[in-house]
């Protein structure tokens, strides 16, 4: 997005540098990266950075409106109701496309948001690796709002573990089999965090325990990485273990299972901002648009683009048996402006928002960026392309 930096990076790129970049991360956490890493970061100018932050901050303000909780009560399935929901999640992530508007301007457009963690630890490692191998300009940072690497790690540790030295674990379904396991391992390396599989949970009274090295340990606080729709796809034995969390009433959550549902694609129809594409619940769309090619339909609670229908046909909508669990959304036109040696790429920037208790608001702290040359963004797509995959945005400081 900054032509001189883009051209300079491309000219100086070599395959050896890319392999050294990957090796830096592999050496830090061996045999753990399960998704494609793009050959390049992106460089974002001050103007777009300001637009991006303004959009994210405006959305956060709406999510904190006292009425928002009432609007999203129906988002939570009855079989997912869990005790001890906090008023708001500790973190929010928002995916913004680098898009083109009807006036041919480059603008951020919200694609998705989630009251759920992302690769918060891994992006520290990715920044370290990029800076170790490539020339990243000094006035550019992946961190936002004046955060440094140390500030970010301190806030991450505070968010996950709290202030009262309570025993905190990272909870996931079969964590050592997940594509995101590199994030689990590096988060543990950064702040010290036991990684617990949901199959290890034991309920005694209203408390959760697990055993490690022959010692039983009570869980006080959970850094929750369990994607609820993935839990429903597991064996009955694993689902039974997952059900234990609904019986534990003395556990603190980061973030609470309800927030996975409340702050999700379910939220988007309620949001109003120029960066939010027009969105309706499919079952509440009184009349389908005539120009279906200008819309997409998405299932409410799925990750990584699963189930999204881009090129809609009337039959696609007719085949949906649960329209209350889908949205129809104005299609976003991605701007293929990331110049690479193998053709231009488009990008999506995921902003990481952490709750700042002292300021009483969410703060954008860091990011994850994904590059694509296909119709879909995400590490599960474009698997035969180059200069695509997981990346990082460096923002011009101001």
Buried b (16+ CB within 10 A) or exposed e, 72-89: beebbeeebebeebeebb
Max intra-chain CA distance, the chain: 64
For CA atoms 261, 263, 264, 268, give the dihedral sign: positive
CA-CA distance, 295 to 273, in Å (whole number)?
18
Whole-angstrom CA distances from 79 to 85, 174, 302 are 15, 21, 17
Neighbouring CB atoms inside 10 A of 244's CB total: 13
The single-letter DSSP state of residue 167 is -
Q: What is the pLDDT of residues 314-370, one digit of tens each?
A: 889 989 999 999 999 999 999 999 999 999 999 999 999 999 999 999 999 999 999
Q: Where are the alpha helices (DSSP H) in 85-138?
A: 122-133
Helices 122-133 and 15-28 meet at what angle, rounded to 10? 140
Q: Do residues 393 and 42 make contact, with C-beta atoms less than 8 angstroms apart?
A: yes
Share of the chain above pLDDT 70, in %: 97
Q: pTM for the complete prediction?
A: 0.95
301's CB contacts (< 8 A; 6+ apart) are 228, 229, 260, 261, 264, 265, 266, 325
Q: What is the bridge-based pairing of β-strands 252-254 and 393-396?
A: unpaired
187's CB contacts (< 8 A; 6+ apart) are 120, 121, 122, 156, 160, 170, 193, 223
Q: Do residues 251 and 245 make contact, with C-beta atoms less than 8 angstroms apart?
A: yes
Buried b (16+ CB within 10 A) or exposed e, 328-338: bbebbebbebb
**Local structure of 168: helix, strand or coil:** strand
Helices 122-133 and 181-191 meet at what angle, rounded to 10? 90
Q: Which of 76-80, 118-122, 279-283, 376-380 has the lowest mean pLDDT?
A: 376-380
**What pLDDT is stored for residue 376 in this prediction?**
65
**What pLDDT is stored for residue 167 in this prediction?**
97
Q: What is the pLDDT of residues 221-252, one digit of tens each?
A: 999 999 988 998 999 999 999 999 999 999 99
Q: What is the pLDDT of residues 262-289, one digit of tens each?
A: 999 999 999 999 999 999 999 998 788 8
**Local structure of 351: helix, strand or coil:** strand
- Rounded to an integer, the average pLDDT of 145-162 is 98
27's CB contacts (< 8 A; 6+ apart) are none
Share of the chain above pLDDT 90, in %: 88
Name the CA radius of gyration of the chain, rounded.
21
The single-letter DSSP state of residue 309 is B
- First and final C-alpha spacing in the chain: 16
**What pLDDT is stored for residue 304 in this prediction?**
58
Q: What is the mean pLDDT of the chain?
A: 94
């Amino acid at each position: 997005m900054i032509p001189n930096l883009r051209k300079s990076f491309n000219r100086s790129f070599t395959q050896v540098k890319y392999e050294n970049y990957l090796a830096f991360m592999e050496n830090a956490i061996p045999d753990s990266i399960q998704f494609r890493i793009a050959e390049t970061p992106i460089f974002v100018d001050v103007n777009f950075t300001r637009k991006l932050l303004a959009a994210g901050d405006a959305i956060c303000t709406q999510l904190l409106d006292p009425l928002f909780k009432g609007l999203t009560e129906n988002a939570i399935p009855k079989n997912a109701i869990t005790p001890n929901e906090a008023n708001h999640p500790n973190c929010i992530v928002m995916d913004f496309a680098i898009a083109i508007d009807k006036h041919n301007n480059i603008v951020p457009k919200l694609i998705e948001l989630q009251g759920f963690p992302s690769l918060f630890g891994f992006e520290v490692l990715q920044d370290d690796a990029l800076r170790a191998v490539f020339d990243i300009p000094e006035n550019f940072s992946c961190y936002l709002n004046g955060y440094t690497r140390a500030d970010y790690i301190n806030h991450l540790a505070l968010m996950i573990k709290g202030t009262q030295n309570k025993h905190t674990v990272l909870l996931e379904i079969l964590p050592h089999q997940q594509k995101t396991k590199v994030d689990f391992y590096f988060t543990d390396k950064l702040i010290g965090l036991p990684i617990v599989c949901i199959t290890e949970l034991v309920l005694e009274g209203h408390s959760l325990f697990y055993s490690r090295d022959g010692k039983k340990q009570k869980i006080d606080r959970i850094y929750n990485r369990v994607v609820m729709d993935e839990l429903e796809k597991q064996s009955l034995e694993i689902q039974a273990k997952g059900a234990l969390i609904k019986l534990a009433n003395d556990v603190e959550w980061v973030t609470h299972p309800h927030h996975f549902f409340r702050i999700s694609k379910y939220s988007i129809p309620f949001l109003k901002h120029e960066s939010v594409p027009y969105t309706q619940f499919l079952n509440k769309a009184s009349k389908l648009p005539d120009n279906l090619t200008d819309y997409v339909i998405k299932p409410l609670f799925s990750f990584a683009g699963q189930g999204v229908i881009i090129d809609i046909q009337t039959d696609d909508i007719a085949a949906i048996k649960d329209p209350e669990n889908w949205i129809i959304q104005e299609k976003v036109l991605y701007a293929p402006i990331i110049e690479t040696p193998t053709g231009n790429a488009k990008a999506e920037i995921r902003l990481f928002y952490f709750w700042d208790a002292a300021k009483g608001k969410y703060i954008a702290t860091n990011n994850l960026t994904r590059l694509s040359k296909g119709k879909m963004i995400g590490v599960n797509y474009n698997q035969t392309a180059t200069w695509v995959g997981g990346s990082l945005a460096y923002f011009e400081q101001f």
